[in-house]
Structure 1
Amino acid sequence: METPGDFEQAGAGEWSDGPLVLGVPWEFDERLIRAAAGLATIMGVHLICAFVDPASYLTEWEPAGVLDGTSLDPAPNVEAEYPASQLLSGLEGILGPPGGAWSFRVLNGEVAHALGRLAQSADAAALIVGGQRPGRIAQMGRLLEGSVSVSLTRLQGRPVLVVPHSGQ
């Protein structure tokens, strides 16, 4: 009979003890939020829930290393605050009020790049995103915009956990 391996030193120095970054889509699956919160609890780390606002993009045409955080649209977009506040309300219904265990951030830009920048700046242990939604409308969206989970696995050097969509 084999004895279990000693995993004490496995991956020593390779895994950050930073927070988990959860990419939260506008219409999220509650299972995604609960899975991320459960993993954060097990790991004893903070959960950063991040929504990438599709109505605003970073001006990313500057040379590498110089990112301007201004919007392409110079007029303030009051309507852009509505989706984020509705999303925060939905998250609070599942996780309770933000605080020590979790926080909420609204990002701008292309989804995978924005999540990647947040993960890098927070020295995140891992990124968590939802899997591909079923259906023709979702398939058309992936065709036009690409898959966030696929983009993240190509862009990131840190682990990316993809939680399958429940299909409900």
Structure 2
Amino acid sequence: MPDAQPTPYRPRRLDGPVLVGVTPGQSLAVLHRAADLAHTLAVPLVCAFADPAAFSEREADGRREAVAIDPDGVDDDAASIRADLYRGLTSELAVTGLTWTFVALAGEPAAALGGHAEEIDASVIVVGSRERARLEEVIGGSVALRLSHRQARPVVVVPLGHHVGHHRGRGER
């Protein structure tokens, strides 16, 4: 039997959404770069907040809902955080013309984002770096690092330490 010839590589169009991890107080640079990618690829933008103090519960209609681990604890705070994030995203994305959604995820952020990216067949995941690493990141690694080691889809890390604003258009110096 003759050796089979390998099938030549053929590029495919990235048509899954851009998934961006959002957190309270995060630099808008992360959202802007994710929006730029979604616009360039002509795909929807999915903004996801992963709450490590919640767990995921599947609703009867198939949707996943983030439920607080301690229902008597900070559930109102979690709802307030999600509402504030949604309002901020709405304000920032209103004039972009992008199709976008917001989703609240539960659990460790890298695992939650990676799992959701798989569910929605995201083309890419966008996250921000930290200007200063917290102790748990030094010990356990950053969300970006954990994401890049746990899956095959591309992860774009937006550097925040040197961000000075939106990039200039072509031809501008």
TM-score by length of 1: 0.75
Match of 1:117 in 2: 115
Give secondary structure in 1 for the equivalent of 2:134: helix
Match of 1:155 in 2: 150
The structure with more radius of gyration: 2
Cα distance change of structure 1 residues 11 and 142 upon mapping to structure 2, 3 Å threshold: farther
TM-score by length of 2: 0.73
Contact 2:56 2:105 in 1 (8 A): no
Q: Distance in 2 between matches of 1:100 and 1:79?
A: 29
Q: Distance in 2 between matches of 1:90 and 1:96?
A: 10
5 Å-filtered alignment, 1:13-92, equals 13=12, 16-58=14-56, 71=67, 73=69, 75=71, 77-92=75-90
Cα distance change of structure 1 residues 70 and 105 upon mapping to structure 2, 3 Å threshold: closer
Q: Distance in 1 between matches of 2:65 and 2:35?
A: 29
Q: Distance in 2 between matches of 1:98 and 1:106?
A: 22
Q: Distance in 1 between matches of 2:159 and 2:137?
A: 16
Give secondary structure in 1 for the equivalent of 2:53: coil
5 Å-filtered alignment, 1:110-149, equals 110-131=108-129, 133-135=130-132, 138-143=133-138, 146-149=141-144
Give secondary structure in 2 for the equivalent of 1:48: strand
Q: Distance in 2 between matches of 1:41 and 1:93?
A: 17
Give 2:22's aligned amino acid. Answer: V
Aligned residue pair count: 148
Give 2:69's aligned amino acid. Answer: D
Match of 1:6 in 2: none
Structure 1 gap segments, 5+ residues each: 1-8, 60-67
**Greater mean deviation of Cα atoms: 98-107 or 121-130:** 98-107
Cα distance change of structure 1 residues 145 and 87 upon mapping to structure 2, 3 Å threshold: farther
Q: Distance in 2 between matches of 1:114 and 1:158?
A: 14
Cα distance change of structure 1 residues 72 and 49 upon mapping to structure 2, 3 Å threshold: closer
User: Would you say 1:164 and 2:159 are equivalent positions?
Assistant: yes
Q: What fraction of aligned residue pairs are identical, expressed as a percent? A: 34
User: Would you say 1:108 and 2:106 are equivalent positions?
Assistant: yes
Give secondary structure in 1 for the equivalent of 2:153: coil
